[in-house]
Structure 1
């Protein structure tokens, strides 16, 4: 059996239990696209670290935001926000960083009508992928006037707000931003949402986290050891050979072999039962 056939079967067998174990589940709380895109930016921004802690902290945020993230952002007052989220902490991001993210989102909506339209200012549909899009978007967000949160001196050195917006230009894999775009751009399939139409799925780049990095090395999709932008593009090119129109469609399925199924490449019993076991080099490195 070919690897593409195995990956297609994994894609078709994606589980709602896997979705419930994923930050994307927070977007599915809402029906309106304008709420989903705001929820997605917030959920993806905090999608690092332990899954249980991610879900716990995102629950705190969305419970505070109420039934409409878009309406909350439109009415967001940064002074009130800093007070509201004063005790918030997610690893090294705090309530001040969260308030700056919400203010940035409010500015995007005010200036362009939506996060998508604001981001599309930096997108060229003729480009092979989203390298330039993310570079321009991240730099522009970090240049916004966030003084209402941080004060007139700009983002202080001890703030981790810039962590939300890495750039391919610096070599970062930009995992969380690539994940956000996957959620928004890929066709609606019960997992991804397909609410953005200005970017083609062919241009997406796979979000490289520890699971994708490890499993895609085992599958021979990359020979690189560092989880950077070059690795992300290398894996995406390999996946494009399997599906030129939708190269990152397998991301969720592959990733949840690690997140939800516990694949670490070391458990021989799990390897024996793994659907990609015949194509995987786990244990040979």
Structure 2
């Protein structure tokens, strides 16, 4: 079989078991689009590191956000937030960073009503992909006033809040932001949500994590070794050959070959049951 047939079959085989093992599952707890986009921002920003720890820490955050993340953000008061999340820690990020994130979300909806509309204010619908849009989006958010959180005009050097909003301009793969955009932009298909209507799915760039980096190298979609923005665009260009209108539809099923199915890139009995084994150079460095 060819690449498109294999990957389309893989896409069709996505399961709720995979979703339950993914930060995106937190968005599915809510029905209203305005809740889902807030939930998605929070869940994607913290989606780095061990998946079990990610899900555990997100449970803590969402317990505090309550039944409507949008309402929580609209009513967010910094002093209360700093008390509420005083002991929060997720790897590099602490309670201050989380409060700055919630303040950023509140600022976006105050300025544009929704995060989606704020992003559209940064978006070039005629560009090949989201490179320039994401660059402007991150820059705009980092330019908000965070002095009430950090006690200084500039975000202090010991804060990892800027880690939430990397930029393609720096060469970053921007994995978590690309993942957030995939969740929001791709049509609702039982996994992704189709919340934002003003961005073409064909402009999305694949989120490159360790699984996508390794699997897509083994599939020959990129020869680059570094998981950077160039790799993300190179993989996306290869996938665009298979589905020009929706290239990142393959991200979730490919990623969960690693996250949920245990693929670690070595030749093992598991490979015999792998749906992409006939296309894969398993164990490629």
TM-score, length of structure 1 as denominator length = 0.99
The aligned residue for residue 89 of structure 2 is 89
Q: Map Cα deviations across residues 52-98 of structure 1 (whole Å, 9 max, x no partner).
A: 00000000000001000000000000111011100000001000000
Does the residue aligned with 1:250 lie in a helix, a strand or coil? helix
C-alpha distance in 2 between matches for 1:136 and 1:13:
36
Work out whether 1:38 is the aligned partner of 2:30: no
Does the residue aligned with 2:249 lie in a helix, a strand or coil? coil
> Residues 267 and 283 of structure 2 are in contact (CA less than 8 Å); yes or no, is this contact kept in structure 1?
no
C-alpha distance in 2 between matches for 1:257 and 1:116:
30
The aligned residue for residue 231 of structure 1 is 231
Q: 1:76-225 maps to which residues of 2 (within 5 A)?
A: 76-225=76-225
Deviation, 1:284, is 4.5
Does the residue aligned with 1:38 lie in a helix, a strand or coil? helix
C-alpha distance in 2 between matches for 1:148 and 1:156:
12
Does the residue aligned with 2:11 lie in a helix, a strand or coil? helix
> Residues 79 and 148 of structure 1 are in contact (CA less than 8 Å); yes or no, is this contact kept in structure 2?
no
The aligned residue for residue 53 of structure 2 is 53
Q: Which runs of 4+ in 1 moved over 6 A?
A: none
CA RMSD of aligned residues (A): 0.8
Q: 1:59-78 maps to which residues of 2 (within 5 A)?
A: 59-78=59-78
The aligned residue for residue 281 of structure 1 is 281
Deviation, 1:153, is 3.1
> Residues 111 and 118 of structure 2 are in contact (CA less than 8 Å); yes or no, is this contact kept in structure 1?
yes
Q: Map Cα deviations across residues 189-228 of structure 1 (whole Å, 9 max, x no partner).
A: 0000001011000000000000000000000000100000
C-alpha distance in 1 between matches for 2:237 and 2:284:
24
C-alpha distance in 1 between matches for 2:284 and 2:252:
25
The aligned residue for residue 12 of structure 2 is 12
Structure 2 unaligned runs (5+)? none
Q: Map Cα deviations across residues 140-166 of structure 1 (whole Å, 9 max, x no partner).
A: 111100111111333111000000000
C-alpha distance in 2 between matches for 1:10 and 1:109:
37
Does the residue aligned with 1:122 lie in a helix, a strand or coil? coil
C-alpha distance in 1 between matches for 2:190 and 2:200:
19
C-alpha distance in 2 between matches for 1:114 and 1:284:
43
Does the residue aligned with 2:155 lie in a helix, a strand or coil? coil
Closer, same or farther: CA 284–99 of 1 in aligned 2, 3 Å = closer
C-alpha distance in 1 between matches for 2:278 and 2:28:
34
Does the residue aligned with 1:249 lie in a helix, a strand or coil? helix
Deviation, 1:268, is 1.9
> Residues 184 and 192 of structure 2 are in contact (CA less than 8 Å); yes or no, is this contact kept in structure 1?
yes
Does the residue aligned with 2:81 lie in a helix, a strand or coil? helix
TM-score, length of structure 2 as denominator length = 0.99
C-alpha distance in 2 between matches for 1:150 and 1:265:
42
Higher deviation after alignment, 19-28 or 115-124? 115-124
Deviation, 1:34, is 0.1
